[in-house]
Amino acid sequence: MSLGGLKRVKELLPPSRWSLLPPMIEERSRCAAVNIPGSGGVLVIGGIGKKSLPLRSTELLTRRFGKGRSRAGKKWQWLPCTPMNKEHRGDPLTVYFQGRVYVVGCGEYVESMEMLDVEAG
């Protein structure tokens, strides 16, 4: 239908909404998160934990396999992953590149970074 030369457009995308996910293994703030292509998961890295202690831990949010249709949070799970060599407690920069996760920074000046070879397992 045209109105003054303009056509009406109807959006065909389904409405988006946020879903609650299960709680992480460890409470943390000022952490980083990065998508791990191929795993269908998101790796959460470092941050500040309980009692304001810096964290070396990492955990992977991934889908549960073999589960039927259920609420969004029930389809996901957190799995512990390889801890880092050093704490990265204050807004670390994290990137996935060519099968590896790189982490640098911890809220202060640094001259080193860490790498996790995801493809090596």
- For residue 64, pLDDT over 80 is answered with yes
- Give the span between the Cα atoms of 10 and 80, in whole angstroms: 44
| Residue extents of the structural domains in the chain | 19-117
* pLDDT digits 0-9 by tens, 20-53: 999 999 999 999 999 999 888 999 999 999 999 9
pLDDT at 11: 61
Q: Are strands 32-36 and 41-45 parallel, antiparallel or unpaired?
A: antiparallel
Average the pLDDT over 99-116 and give the result. Answer: 84
pLDDT at 14: 73
- Compute the Cα dihedral for 121, 21, 74, 71 and give only its sign: negative
Beta bridge mates, 35? 42
pLDDT at 105: 78
pTM across the whole model? 0.77
